[in-house]
Structure 1
Amino acid sequence: MSHGAEPLAHSAPTADAEPQTYAEHIGAVVEMARANAEALALFCMDGAGFVETVVDAATYHDLGKLDPANQDGLRAGRHGVLPWDHIDAGVAHLMREGAEGAAWLVRAHHSPGLPCWAEHFVADGRRLRGRRSGTDYEPHDIQTARTDRLLADYLAIHETCLGQQHAPSLRPARHGLATRLKLSCLVDADHTDTAGFDTGRGPPPEAPPPRWRERLEALDWYVAALPSSGNPERDRNRADFYAACRTATLDAPFVACKGPVGLGKTTAVTAFLLRAADAHRLRRLFIVAPYTNVISQAVKRLRDAVTLPGEDPEEVVAEHHHRADFQSVDTRDLAVTWRAPIVVTTAVQFFETLAANAPSRLRKLHALPGSAVFLDEAHAALPTPLWQQNWRWLRELAGHWSCRFVLASGSLARFWEKEAVVAEGKCELPELMPSPLAQRVLRAETRRISYATLGRLADVDKLTDAVLAAPGPHLVILNTVQSAAVVARALAKEAGDRNVMHVSTALCPRDRSAVIAKIATRLGEPDRDWMLVATSCVEAGVDFSFRTAFRERFSAASLIQIGGRVNRHGECEHGGCVFDFVIDSGNGLVLHPAATAPAGVLGRLFKEGAFAADQIDPADLVTRAMDRELREKVQAQGDPLTKAERDRDYPSVAALGRVIDVDTRLVVVDPQLKQALEHRAHLPFRTLLNGSVQLWANKIDALGLSPVHRGHDIFWFPYRYDPGFLGYMAGVLELEDFAERGFAIYD
């Protein structure tokens, strides 16, 4: 480092720009991290201690950048290299001062994030010291020795830059969710200041104020102006349900709400939570749903309902998922950092953030404490085995971080009552829907839909016969993309191409949206003699109403969920029916590996006559099925996620807590996108996503797909792609047909 030169934190982003000094960066990060922590601390039990730990970490998070070799790298510009890991110095100083909680944050504020406690605190462990990556001891020992030798120099320069001393507080680490929340406060501040310096945009925009009472009044006006559904009984139930939620006096941290389709759960539960947010001075309202199509519908409805005059709807109701569009960088920032008053996001984003150890995933978490949370379609939010640990996190958010929850679904499994699911968290929750109304709605639901099983079908021909014999329009759901394509093709041969539609992830998002729009249009036409073959992508969140459905056996929740796509608005006087069936693999059909256990439970429920009662309670059936599924799984495997969290094994928690654990690759099916990528054109991620599909990594090899660019993980699909029917499965089935028939080459 040059004598007398101002120490740097970041190199200049461009040749004609100035670098960022160490003092500027540390000062800004401390200020923002403190603000994040103080805003959160209003809603936690040990607010003062929380803030102190975050500020200690922010103060020393980049201390190692003051190493003279690192300063030389920073002054060399963006192509310069920092030869020494800059996090070790802050960790060393904080551990020596007894501020272990802050040391964990400094250690984790860059990738790979929060480490495993056992790897660092065994007898010969490194106690958070050394480099961030690598298993060889020698590089860590060299790093540690250099830090120990120069630490006093770093601290002297640090104090000179900031013009003051800072004594860290003597605080041990409080592990689990508390550590993730503290790291979130630090990482958000660090990333925000760094991004502002790199882009020149300055601080992010302020989010609109909550104004909960005004938004509730606007929601009242919106609901009052909704048109009639044409079904007097349904209109009456909707109005009574909204009124019950709007005036409910429940003041519990957790509330359950079971309400079938068409009852207006989104607006009614939102009214209840807006009152709770106003009464408890909460910061945000989260609406969490398992499917992006559910989210998009909810976002549109809420933006229309609760945006006040002069406000930008995107700033009030933020839509956060991988397919969301944003009108500006500012509205995107409000969404991805969860800073808008109302955030609508996926169950994947919500629950994987709770389990995360990576700083980029945890950045937004500090926005959650002090919030009302609506878990919509709660039965489908998580795989059953993940509920035990996630239920602990939710209870901690309610008990220690002032959150309020409503769990809602038309087939809401009361998993919190089952010890096999939630262990020591077993409890009873108050119901949001009054009992007399619930009984009236359940009677109407029993008239609307029934369930039956066809048992085991020998082959696709038998399934085709059953579908064609039932009243239409028909919905046929298969468990795998390939099976859906095989059945769609078989039905098209029997009923004609025009009478069969198909939708699955074999179609890219752009083509899938076009097909779904055509389905909605066709359902409104008088022609009833047609069918839709699909996967579970239409199981929820789409306003479809078929006459009859056929569902390949999976889980009780999946079967009942399909009931929401049949006779949805009660338009069929004699009710609709969902037929369960089992079909063997072979002749192109592929079984879903995750279906075995839940399908076995569902089969036993049918044998026990659970679906033959005069009045079926969907919530009771799904609860019984979930209990049985988890008992069988826990007996066989235990609960590795709970164990990893108890052991403070943060990387394993993040891996085991993944809601969707798939190894897929992005495969381009649009030739124009391929050409643009080959010419290295800059493409917005949404544009790329809309013209691509996701394929399992092993299928990439089996199909012989090549990357668009060598060394990249974006591939090209060279076979036939059918944008209006089978998508990429058109090419896959042609390959399978070709292989089955065999071939010969003649000279």
Structure 2
Amino acid sequence: MHFAHSTNSTEDNWEPLARHLHEVAELARSFGSKFGGGNAAELAGLLHDLGKYAAAFQEYIRGQRARGVDHASAGAQQVIKLATGINGLVARLLAYAIAGHHGGLPDQHGSAGLDDRLKKQLEPIDAIWRSELQLNAAALLPTPFKPYQGDAAVPERMAFQFAFLGRMLFSCLVDADFLCTEAFYARTEGRQVDRAWPGLAQSIDGLNARFDSYIADKQQHAPNTPLNALRRDILNHVRRKAELPRGVFTLNVPTGGGKTLASLAFALNHAKRHQMDRIVYTIPFTAIIEQTAGIFRNVLGDDVLLEHHSAIELDPSKAQNKAGEEYGIDDGARDGKLRLAAENWAAPIVVTTNVQFFESLFASRGARCRKLHNLANAVIILDEAQTIPLNLLRPCVAALDELVRNYGCTVVLCTATLPALGADRFKGGLVISPDRELAPDPAALHNALRRTTQRLAGTMTDDQLLEDIAQSGTAQALVIVNSRKHALALFERAQQRGIDGLLHLTTRQIAADRRLILADIRQRLVDNVPCVVIATSLVEAGVDLDFPRVWRAEAGLDQVVQAAGRCNREGRAPADASIVTIFKPAEAKPPAEIEALIGDTYRILETHKGDLFAPAAVEAYFGEVHWRLQSDGLDRIKIADADGRKVAAQTMQQFSVSAGQPSFGYRTVGDAFRLIESGMAPVIVPTDAEALDTLAALRGGLPPTAAARRLRNYLVQVPPRERQRMIDNGHVRFVEADRFGEQFAVLETTALYSATSGLRWEDADEFTWGIV
């Protein structure tokens, strides 16, 4: 008898290998069948642990051999022998998945690459596997598999499509393997694993009824204003569009037009119409994800929604079997259920970040890829779609197109400043027909929802800016500048002037304090008391604030429009009195990337000076941006060369197919594809008992991954040179560097931090170590 998994009990309670392979194959097939990949996923499941038929592996799990053996490469070597032609190409994709089902999808070449794995001399395996496993290598390519037909380079895009298919099949395999292994150990250990979520199809009527009830109550109690009447019209129009076939949609509604609820209504109605499995709502920043998730819970309840982002504590609870393979441990609490659902997005409604969503689509590690097969047949709403980083825009658009083209998804690009991503204006873009705009006439909506007046103020010193605010006659003002350094300097100058109700909000402050400051701002606005906020762009996209006046330092037009969305948001004041002042700071140079976007804005200024916030102006602006970056600026990552140095590269060029042989850089892309490349170094600022207790637990044995998750609300990202200066001066120390290296840098001199100003690393030379 050959075994897949062992226990501390007798072999009677061990898991037979053939049973495990068939169970994984069956589950993987069910996952892959949603996009036509059932045959291929099943074959991967049957072969993934083929190397466990080796006598050496059986000796190892029986404790008769000190070291384990490679049990994944055997299946990879076998699968490529089973098929030729197009099936042979898919078999090569399966070889990547099988070889990487523990360590992650490999590159074709390089250290531990697939080339080496396929040539590796392995321990011989028992020929009995041929009678225990019935392999079918026919019809491996999903049918129909639709190639991209746009004007993008065909070989490059086709290679990307096959690489995407390989990652989706990998997702089917690794999730099935994990779940089957978890189920075996749960049975043998007498545990219950709660992964039960209601299916969207079974819940959809009730969810629509909850939505209708919520909207009816909201409309009944809302004042009968032109703005609320327009919001009702937008909502009704969007819901009618849900009957259209799946595909790519846009929802181009100005800020305050009710995009969040309208997009949720569309997703619910569209999912019911087309029997879709899941709704995934992606949001650019954690600052607004909690706001949106809270709205959804109020509307739909808490029993169908998973909120997955870095600020949510979902510690991985894992054990390992004798083969070193991980499986889950359920703690029986709701937090445990949410943690389990976060592993593979099993919940019917998922609210997550762009980082989680897009980085998973380009990941190589099994833990990040497990969720991907659950995106098939989903409604995907991208809130604030304009925030996709420009240097990753082309591969992100290609991934969205592929989800729609071959995986049964509907994608909604939801924004007040929609970039031109259609194939007619963007190389390799999305197929968006005119009837796919969900809003009723965006240009007319812009005019109807115009609540502000723009003012181009030219160059202003900080004193002139503060005097301008003082002379405006408003006690509530929002000022947004382009850097933390300028925000702090302006805040300190405003303090010297004795401005009432002054607040400072940037990423100098830890996330835990930023949430409290935002809550304070909202309450001050409601209470109509003085509130002058000096902030960076973190308050722009999607943050629900409503100021009577806004001042915005020059930036890209999309950022300026988003800033304007924080002015007179509810339309209570006349547009002529709700002024958005755009100024050029005399004492602060913008970062290089923002300076380039300012140039793009100036190039369309003369034509659109009358209304910079109109859809036509935004469209012209993105046309300038995309034209400027068209060569390689829309697909730019940094990868390590042969000498380990970081060099510029393109994501799409890491995948190629020649003569039916794929050469994919899965690991290279997975390691390099990051939506947020700050170039900063983290410092932990333990401001309360929770942070201090976590650090104590870390020293006492808490796994570092768990500690890192708990401490994410206490981080400030600092320029590396400034962090080193604080280390040199004794203000920052690493927690047990001999164990954790430089992973946990903790602020020791607490006088350098306040919730008001944040972390003042510039003052590191002025403090004596140990002053608290």
The reply to whether TM is greater than 0.5 is yes
- Secondary structure of the 2:608 match is coil
Give the deviation of 1:65 after TM superposition.
3.3
Identity %: 25
1:102 aligns with 2:94: yes
Check the 8 A contact 2:398/2:429 in 1, yes or no.
no
Cα displacement string for residues 477-521 of structure 1 (whole angstroms, at most 9, x for unaligned residues): 12222322222122112125x531111222212211111111111
Give the deviation of 1:15 after TM superposition.
12
Give the deviation of 1:404 after TM superposition.
1.4
Give the deviation of 1:69 after TM superposition.
3.6
Match of 1:301 in 2: 295
Match of 1:680 in 2: 700
Letter in 2 for 1:532: V
Q: 2:114 aligns with which of 128, 146, 152?
A: 128
Q: 1:391 aligns with which of 383, 389, 397?
A: 397
- Secondary structure of the 1:89 match is helix
Match of 2:376 in 1: 369
Match of 1:209 in 2: 199
Structure 1, unaligned runs of 5 or more: 1-5, 132-139, 308-312
Cα displacement string for residues 330-365 of structure 1 (whole angstroms, at most 9, x for unaligned residues): 133224412211111112222222222222211100
Check the 8 A contact 1:414/1:619 in 2, yes or no.
no
Check the 8 A contact 1:109/1:359 in 2, yes or no.
yes
Give the deviation of 1:566 after TM superposition.
0.9
Cα displacement string for residues 373-403 of structure 1 (whole angstroms, at most 9, x for unaligned residues): 22221222x1234333322322222222221
Cα displacement string for residues 154-184 of structure 1 (whole angstroms, at most 9, x for unaligned residues): 443x457xx4543544858972221111110
- Secondary structure of the 1:411 match is coil
Alpha carbons of 1:80 and 1:234: their partners in 2 closer, same or farther (altered >3 Å)?
farther
Give the deviation of 1:202 after TM superposition.
5.4
Alpha carbons of 1:519 and 1:198: their partners in 2 closer, same or farther (altered >3 Å)?
farther
Provide the rounded CA distance (Å) in 1 between the counterparts of 2:405 and 2:397.
12
Give the deviation of 1:567 after TM superposition.
0.9
Map residues 545-624 of structure 1 onto 2, 5 A cutoff.
545-573=546-574, 574-583=576-585, 591-606=590-605, 608=606, 610-613=608-611, 617-624=613-620
Check the 8 A contact 1:387/1:421 in 2, yes or no.
no
1:29 aligns with 2:19: no
Give the deviation of 1:283 after TM superposition.
0.9
Q: 2:463 aligns with which of 438, 461, 464?
A: 461
- Secondary structure of the 2:459 match is strand
Q: 2:654 aligns with which of 644, 655, 678?
A: 644
Structure 2, unaligned runs of 5 or more: 84-90, 142-158, 315-333, 636-649, 658-663
Match of 1:411 in 2: 417
Give the deviation of 1:425 after TM superposition.
5.7
1:734 aligns with 2:750: no
Check the 8 A contact 2:93/2:163 in 1, yes or no.
no
Match of 2:86 in 1: none
Q: 1:629 aligns with which of 613, 625, 637?
A: 625
Check the 8 A contact 1:667/1:717 in 2, yes or no.
yes
Check the 8 A contact 1:64/1:154 in 2, yes or no.
no
Provide the rounded CA distance (Å) in 2 between the counterparts of 1:625 and 1:17.
69
Provide the rounded CA distance (Å) in 1 between the counterparts of 2:589 and 2:177.
48
Alpha carbons of 1:250 and 1:735: their partners in 2 closer, same or farther (altered >3 Å)?
same
Give the deviation of 1:372 after TM superposition.
1.4
Match of 2:213 in 1: 221
Give the deviation of 1:238 after TM superposition.
1.3
Check the 8 A contact 1:8/1:19 in 2, yes or no.
yes
Provide the rounded CA distance (Å) in 2 between the counterparts of 1:418 and 1:596.
28
- Secondary structure of the 1:373 match is strand
Q: 1:81 aligns with which of 48, 56, 67?
A: 67
Match of 2:75 in 1: 90
Check the 8 A contact 2:384/2:414 in 1, yes or no.
yes
Check the 8 A contact 2:248/2:432 in 1, yes or no.
no
Provide the rounded CA distance (Å) in 2 between the counterparts of 1:692 and 1:594.
24
Match of 1:134 in 2: none
Check the 8 A contact 1:420/1:631 in 2, yes or no.
no
- Secondary structure of the 2:678 match is coil
Alpha carbons of 1:170 and 1:444: their partners in 2 closer, same or farther (altered >3 Å)?
closer
Alpha carbons of 1:440 and 1:24: their partners in 2 closer, same or farther (altered >3 Å)?
same
Q: TM-score, normalised by structure 1?
A: 0.83
Alpha carbons of 1:96 and 1:164: their partners in 2 closer, same or farther (altered >3 Å)?
closer
Alpha carbons of 1:364 and 1:14: their partners in 2 closer, same or farther (altered >3 Å)?
farther
Provide the rounded CA distance (Å) in 2 between the counterparts of 1:195 and 1:480.
47
Check the 8 A contact 1:665/1:694 in 2, yes or no.
yes
Give the deviation of 1:225 after TM superposition.
0.4
Q: More displaced, 534-543 or 180-189?
A: 534-543
Check the 8 A contact 2:695/2:707 in 1, yes or no.
no
Provide the rounded CA distance (Å) in 2 between the counterparts of 1:415 and 1:128.
35
Match of 2:641 in 1: none
Match of 2:366 in 1: 359
Check the 8 A contact 2:106/2:114 in 1, yes or no.
no
- Secondary structure of the 2:306 match is strand
Alpha carbons of 1:11 and 1:452: their partners in 2 closer, same or farther (altered >3 Å)?
farther
Letter in 2 for 1:628: E
1:9 aligns with 2:36: no
1:709 aligns with 2:721: no
Alpha carbons of 1:190 and 1:482: their partners in 2 closer, same or farther (altered >3 Å)?
farther
Letter in 2 for 1:725: T
CA RMSD of aligned residues (A): 3.3
Provide the rounded CA distance (Å) in 1 between the counterparts of 2:470 and 2:353.
36
Cα displacement string for residues 35-94 of structure 1 (whole angstroms, at most 9, x for unaligned residues): 2223x2xxx3xx2xx2121111111212223434444433349x9532x32222111111
Give the deviation of 1:439 after TM superposition.
5.4
Q: 2:476 aligns with which of 473, 478, 490?
A: 473
Provide the rounded CA distance (Å) in 2 between the counterparts of 1:424 and 1:404.
12
Aligned residues, how many? 680
Structure 1 ranges of 4+ moved more than 6 A: 13-18
Provide the rounded CA distance (Å) in 2 between the counterparts of 1:212 and 1:28.
30
Give the deviation of 1:407 after TM superposition.
1.6
Match of 1:241 in 2: 234
Provide the rounded CA distance (Å) in 1 between the counterparts of 2:465 and 2:756.
20
Give the deviation of 1:126 after TM superposition.
9.8
Cα displacement string for residues 189-243 of structure 1 (whole angstroms, at most 9, x for unaligned residues): 1222334456654555232022323322321111010154546111111111122
Cα displacement string for residues 118-165 of structure 1 (whole angstroms, at most 9, x for unaligned residues): x38xxxx9993545xxxxxxxx96xx2334xx1xx3443x457xx454
Alpha carbons of 1:426 and 1:444: their partners in 2 closer, same or farther (altered >3 Å)?
closer
Alpha carbons of 1:462 and 1:9: their partners in 2 closer, same or farther (altered >3 Å)?
farther
Check the 8 A contact 2:626/2:634 in 1, yes or no.
no
Check the 8 A contact 2:257/2:449 in 1, yes or no.
no
Alpha carbons of 1:476 and 1:418: their partners in 2 closer, same or farther (altered >3 Å)?
farther
Give the deviation of 1:16 after TM superposition.
13
Check the 8 A contact 1:74/1:81 in 2, yes or no.
no
Match of 1:483 in 2: 486
Check the 8 A contact 1:560/1:618 in 2, yes or no.
no
Give the deviation of 1:643 after TM superposition.
2.6
Provide the rounded CA distance (Å) in 1 between the counterparts of 2:12 and 2:524.
58
Provide the rounded CA distance (Å) in 2 between the counterparts of 1:317 and 1:638.
34
Check the 8 A contact 2:552/2:583 in 1, yes or no.
yes
Match of 1:146 in 2: 122
- Secondary structure of the 1:146 match is coil
Q: 1:182 aligns with which of 161, 169, 174?
A: 169
Letter in 1 for 2:764: L
Provide the rounded CA distance (Å) in 1 between the counterparts of 2:722 and 2:5.
43
Alpha carbons of 1:285 and 1:168: their partners in 2 closer, same or farther (altered >3 Å)?
same
Give the deviation of 1:449 after TM superposition.
1.0
